[in-house]
Amino acid sequence: MTGMFGKVKPCAECNLVLLGAMGCGKSALTVKFLTKRFISEYDPYLEDIYSSDELVDQQPVTVRVMDTCDQEGPVNCERYLSWANAFLVVYSINDMESFKDCQLYLQTLSMHKNTFRSQTPIILVGNKLDMDRYRHVSQSDGEAVAIRFDCSFFEVSACWDFLSVQYIFHEAVRRAKRG
């Protein structure tokens, strides 16, 4: 398409999927990204897809976020494997079980690499950074797993500033575009 401003790009779209143990803060991160607010009590069994028109590096993009809820861990992953343009695999830094669970997700994703585009980027997110006093998963443990599974890695808190939460979602979009 060309117009008076030259080439007009079609509106880009990007599908993000949040994975991780129940209680690690997937919904809190999603709600923060979408509304800039921290909602402390969110229906733990709700799984949904939300849409937001974003500007990422001055480029408009419709970001869809699938906030998953798996009560059984990484089973029935067909619904998101081929849909996703990027994955955010979340654990809570004060919960070692959630860190183990996120490694199950990472293993599942690497097993299914042929089902989805193998370039689909994965971002490992250590959430609840405000709970640093009760930390059970060190930053270097997170980094080591990220290196092992070839993901990028960030630690955030869904109850701190909006911009650092927005950053990881936008980073997922950037990496998906590159992929």
* List of residues contacting Mg ion (CB under 5 A): 26-27
Query: CB of 121: closest distance to ligand GDP in angstroms?
Result: 20
Number of residue whose CB is nearest Mg ion:
27
Q: Tell me if 159 contacts ligand GDP by CB under 6 A.
A: yes
Residue (61 or 74) nearer to ligand GDP, CB:
74
Binding to ligand GDP (CB under 6 A): which residues in 88-147?
127-128, 130-131
**Cα separation of 140 and 159, whole Å?**
23
Contact 65, 30 (CB under 8 A): yes
Strands (DSSP E) along 27-130, which ranges? 48-56, 59-67, 86-92, 122-127
Dihedral, CA atoms, 133, 137, 140, 141, nearest 10 degrees? 180
Query: CB of 44: closest distance to Mg ion in angstroms?
Result: 6
Contact 38, 28 (CB under 8 A): yes
Binding to ligand GDP (CB under 6 A): which residues in 11-50?
20, 22-28, 40, 42, 44
Q: Which residues make up the interface to ligand GDP (CB under 6 A)? A: 20, 22-28, 40, 42, 44, 127-128, 130-131, 157-159
